Structure 1
Amino acid sequence: MTGTEDVGAEIVEEEVSGDESGREPEAEPEPRGRRAEEGRGHTIVVGAGMAGLAAADLLAERGERVTVLEARDRLGGRIHSVRTWDGVTLDAGASWMRGEENNPLSRLVRDSGARTATFNRSTETAYDPKGRRLLFDRHRRNMEDVNLLHEHMYWATVGATEDQSMEQGIEHALYDVNLVRSRARDATEIVHRIAEADHGAEADEISFTAVGSTHEFSGDDVVFPDGMGELTDHLARGLDVRHEHVVLSVAHDADGVRVRVETPDGEETLTADRVVLTLPLGVLKAGTIDFDPPLPEDKRDAVERLGNGRLEKLFLRFDDVFWGDAEVLVHLGTEEGTWFHWYAGQNVFGTPVLVCRNGGDAARFLAGMEDGEVVEHAMASLRSMFKKAPDPIDHYLTHWMDDPFARGGFSFTAVGSGDSDRVALAEPIEDRVFFAGEATDLEHSATVHGALLSGLREAERILARD
């Protein structure tokens, strides 16, 4: 999603308030989850992202007292919808619902009333390393080759070990399908770029078993013109969410849990029957929270072995659309794999905006630049395709790796890790400390719906044990 939210992003214009954007103020929601019903207890939820709010929402509906602690001054976690540019909403973090049919998010989308829009992928246009537009038949053949490689890779994961990398899988698939010369070059590059965006890592860092572990839904991939944050806002309605509460330590014993936090008014310790932790993998890896007693060894090992992916976004705003009708632009052969996929957002945002995601080594390469240099680098790539492309009038660049409450985009299955690590990460500690978040979900890691399912899973586990 999965995952990667104010995150040091630069923005030039003032953000637009709810009134200025033309939105009607909503009625204050009725408080809920403020006291425990008979037979229920008190649960502290750490993190007001999708996983934490999904858990808190269900617990509150079932009569649990719930207190949500959020380190940031906003909801959403790695979902971060920023309203700017005359009311345009940019999803700086998670933004896609992958397959709208039977997706666990679909019900939440309906309940929240969030608008969705579909990118028209049939307009996808590709350009070669020199910026020359590829013929439609050439690009279609490339994508057929990519699908063939993916199919061979999927079936080859049967019997694969955790020490095999996706890079090895790509090499075997190339040999099996007998692609050569330009077809092999183009298909290989596209497969690598897809892997970097999906996992936030390079193919030689990703376990080959991850190819067969992802589960997709049918239907269109959709985005949210008014921001995916509407989903987390809906879940949080009426809940006791305490912003700017940074967790310092978690202790537990037979009597319950004690969570020490830093607040704007100083340190305090909250007590409850149990706690649900929805910390991103990057935060767990950083070890910024003390545990008493320490986390079990298998959980610590899982945190170390699983991969922490990086994915950053650049939004460019222009005065006019200069790229034609295509809503997806593919640029092959760019430096370090940067600026491979551009998404044209004029139909979604109602203004000329181009969006690009960079993952893995591409993101690492750009991380060494100042924001202005990143924009210049992006424009050099665009101008190789569109010679007269004007300067952008504004930009927004994310820095998820620098965000202390994210420290990355989302988890990935690294070489040497596997399903057992996610199982260990999700295992509760003595019915006191519970763990949720996309990194704890076996079938849908690195996705918003995976985070949702993990939160519901832990809420149901708690409700079943009271």
Structure 2
Amino acid sequence: MTMSRREFLAASAALALTPALRWPAFAAPLPREADVVVIGAGAAGIAAARRIIAAGRKVIVIEAGRQVGGRCLTDTTSFEVPFDRGARWLHNPETNPLVKLARGAGLDVAPAPPGQKLRIGRRNARPGETEDLLASLVRANRAIDDAARKADLSCAAALPKDLGDWAGTVEFLLGPYATGKDLKDLSALDQFRAQDRNAMVACRQGLGTMIGKLGEGLPVALATPATRITWGGRDVGVETPAGRITARAVIVTVSSNVLASGAIKFAPELPKRQLDAAAKLTLGSYDHVALLLSGNPLGLPKDEIMIEQSSDARTAFLVANMAGSSLCSVDVAGAFGRDLAAQGEAAMIDFAKEWLGKLFGSDAVAEVQGASATRWNAQPLVQGAMSAALPGGQFARRVLAEPIGNLFLAGEASHETLWGTVDGAWDSGERAADAALKRIGSLKSDTPAQSSPRKPKQRRERGVSGASAGDLGWPGRR
């Protein structure tokens, strides 16, 4: 087989956008036959492959990029500590299987520090001001929940109109920071049904390293994009530049944006029901701008989290002195973050410096010794950050997870309650593997029973001790 010019350029761009990693690239020889082909070696793909091997079936994972991990990507060469360029934290450690698996693989997994600050101009917020923000967030969450019980409208339409000086901060925390999208582009029902993410844990070696470790020993063919999938009969065929693989089933774990883009051809075409679902679950924009400072000019403790009282969308989220180093991450998201990233890495770094200078003074910015920015929207193998349902689109998650004969879709976008998380991607991969094994049959009697969705923890009123917004301790949704 030959690779088209478009496919070659896409693969070349993907490699050019990938930072140098210490995690070794490994590759399995491409077989001509397998029981199941898994497309994508992110969290969902690795989870599915592990499940299939445990059942005694032959699996091959094909990955278009040159490393395992997908949107879990750890850069270990640019700075003095591992820098997660994608997903940064895991959630709900008491029910999250990845925490136990990571520790079993010899990785250091520990609760993320709870420290957080609210900045108002050049000063830290007073206790009363922080309480005002928390109360505004509780009111906003209640309004979104109440609206979602009646109709799946946008979160912006449900938001109280009298949030005053906190309106911009609330909109940032519940929209761009939590989901990568502005509130006008978010389904209120999707937010309402999301499982609360009350606790966070971090892997000191990085989440990309963690997924790589959990993928050790699996048959993974790197730099091997799937170009065409034929399905609908007893067998499926997966075509790649290195040859064709015949299998009994295929699990596709690419992002909803990649699926909707038509980058992978299907014969017959995917049903309109699934394509429409993917189009309703587009990825938001969320990027990290890493700044290496000399010393600690911000005067913040290890892993401190900070936001500002913002009056417009031109704002960001700070994680300072990561892992006790001098590395800080200024995160930009939503429509503002997307537009900024489209201007290139230099513009992103300039904004991060400007933003820090506004809050901490020019002396702090003068201490920047190195910088790097992610641009996930420009990564052709992903095309964004995490999925977030458009208004009226919450039902699409269940549709995306429905088996289509011997073809199964997985990934965080297909998880109804843990979308946007590594946890949800992993769980979706296991579920897709169980569904595929149910169709073709397992060979081992001790195969794990078909998994059911992890039950959401009982919802509680979101107050000071409620669920976090994004990965932050502010009461929100993620």
Please state which band the TM-score falls in when normalised by the shorter chain: 0.7 to 0.9
Q: Please, which of 303, 310, 313 is the counterpart of residue 288 of structure 2?
A: 313
- The structure-2 alpha-carbon separation of the partners of 1:215 and 1:385, relative to structure 1 and needing over 3 Å to count, comes to same
Q: CA deviation at 1:365?
A: 2.8
- The structure-2 alpha-carbon separation of the partners of 1:97 and 1:245, relative to structure 1 and needing over 3 Å to count, comes to same
- The structure-2 alpha-carbon separation of the partners of 1:427 and 1:17, relative to structure 1 and needing over 3 Å to count, comes to closer
Task: Name the counterpart of 2:133.
Answer: 142
Check the 8 A contact 1:257/1:275 in 2, yes or no.
yes
Check the 8 A contact 1:248/1:290 in 2, yes or no.
yes
Q: Match for 1:43: what amino acid?
A: V
1:54 is paired with a residue of what secondary structure?
helix
Counterpart CA distance in 1 for 2:139 and 2:368 is 38
Task: Name the counterpart of 1:414.
Answer: 390
Counterpart CA distance in 1 for 2:352 and 2:36 is 46
Matched, 1:454 2:428: yes
2:377 is paired with a residue of what secondary structure?
helix
Task: Name the counterpart of 1:21.
Answer: none
Q: How does 1:365-380 map to 2 (within 5 A)?
A: 365-380=339-354
Task: Name the counterpart of 1:381.
Answer: 355
Task: Name the counterpart of 2:192.
Answer: 212
Q: Please, which of 152, 165, 172 is the counterpart of residue 154 of structure 2?
A: 165
Counterpart CA distance in 1 for 2:21 and 2:271 is 46
Q: How many residues align?
A: 423
Q: Please, which of 59, 69, 77 is the counterpart of residue 84 of structure 1?
A: 77
- The structure-2 alpha-carbon separation of the partners of 1:367 and 1:17, relative to structure 1 and needing over 3 Å to count, comes to closer
1:410 is paired with a residue of what secondary structure?
coil
Check the 8 A contact 1:35/1:64 in 2, yes or no.
no
Deviations 1:331-355 (A, max 9, x none): 222663332x101134x1x420111
Task: Name the counterpart of 2:313.
Answer: 336
- The structure-2 alpha-carbon separation of the partners of 1:17 and 1:75, relative to structure 1 and needing over 3 Å to count, comes to closer
Given the two structures, how large is their TM-score scaled by the length of structure 1? 0.84
Task: Name the counterpart of 1:126.
Answer: 118
Task: Name the counterpart of 1:398.
Answer: 374
Q: CA deviation at 1:112?
A: 2.3
Contiguous gaps of at least 5 residues in structure 1: 19-24
Counterpart CA distance in 2 for 1:356 and 1:9 is 20
1:42 is paired with a residue of what secondary structure?
strand
Matched, 1:258 2:237: yes
Task: Name the counterpart of 1:426.
Answer: 401
Q: CA deviation at 1:217?
A: 4.4
Task: Name the counterpart of 2:471.
Answer: none
Check the 8 A contact 2:251/2:407 in 1, yes or no.
yes
Check the 8 A contact 1:439/1:445 in 2, yes or no.
yes
Matched, 1:229 2:199: no
Deviations 1:53-107 (A, max 9, x none): 1000010011010100000010001110110246521110111112322224323
1:45 is paired with a residue of what secondary structure?
strand
Counterpart CA distance in 2 for 1:187 and 1:119 is 27
Q: Match for 2:221: what amino acid?
A: R
* Greater mean alpha carbon deviation, residues 71-80 or residues 353-362: 353-362
Check the 8 A contact 1:102/1:217 in 2, yes or no.
no
1:67 is paired with a residue of what secondary structure?
strand
Counterpart CA distance in 2 for 1:403 and 1:87 is 25
Check the 8 A contact 2:168/2:309 in 1, yes or no.
no
* Greater mean alpha carbon deviation, residues 275-284 or residues 113-122: 113-122
Check the 8 A contact 1:56/1:68 in 2, yes or no.
yes
Q: CA deviation at 1:330?
A: 1.4
Counterpart CA distance in 2 for 1:352 and 1:10 is 23
Check the 8 A contact 2:290/2:373 in 1, yes or no.
yes
Deviations 1:277-301 (A, max 9, x none): 0010110121111110111121122
Task: Name the counterpart of 1:105.
Answer: 98
Task: Name the counterpart of 2:88.
Answer: 95
Task: Name the counterpart of 1:441.
Answer: 415
Matched, 1:53 2:82: no
Counterpart CA distance in 1 for 2:18 and 2:73 is 14
Check the 8 A contact 2:32/2:244 in 1, yes or no.
no
Task: Name the counterpart of 2:57.
Answer: 64
Given the two structures, how large is their TM-score scaled by the length of structure 2? 0.82
Counterpart CA distance in 1 for 2:232 and 2:397 is 24
Q: Match for 2:376: what amino acid?
A: W
Check the 8 A contact 2:15/2:65 in 1, yes or no.
no
Q: CA deviation at 1:113?
A: 2.7
Deviations 1:346-396 (A, max 9, x none): 4x1x42011122221121231242322221221111112211212411112
Counterpart CA distance in 1 for 2:210 and 2:345 is 30
Give the alignment's Cα RMSD to 1 decimal: 2.8
Counterpart CA distance in 2 for 1:396 and 1:194 is 26
Seq. identity, %:
25
Counterpart CA distance in 1 for 2:146 and 2:71 is 33
Q: CA deviation at 1:211?
A: 2.1
Check the 8 A contact 2:285/2:337 in 1, yes or no.
yes
Q: CA deviation at 1:423?
A: 1.9
- The structure-2 alpha-carbon separation of the partners of 1:364 and 1:8, relative to structure 1 and needing over 3 Å to count, comes to farther
Task: Name the counterpart of 1:151.
Answer: 142
Q: Match for 1:392: what amino acid?
A: V
Task: Name the counterpart of 2:35.
Answer: 42
Counterpart CA distance in 2 for 1:254 and 1:131 is 65
Q: Please, which of 156, 173, 184 is the counterpart of residue 193 of structure 1?
A: 173
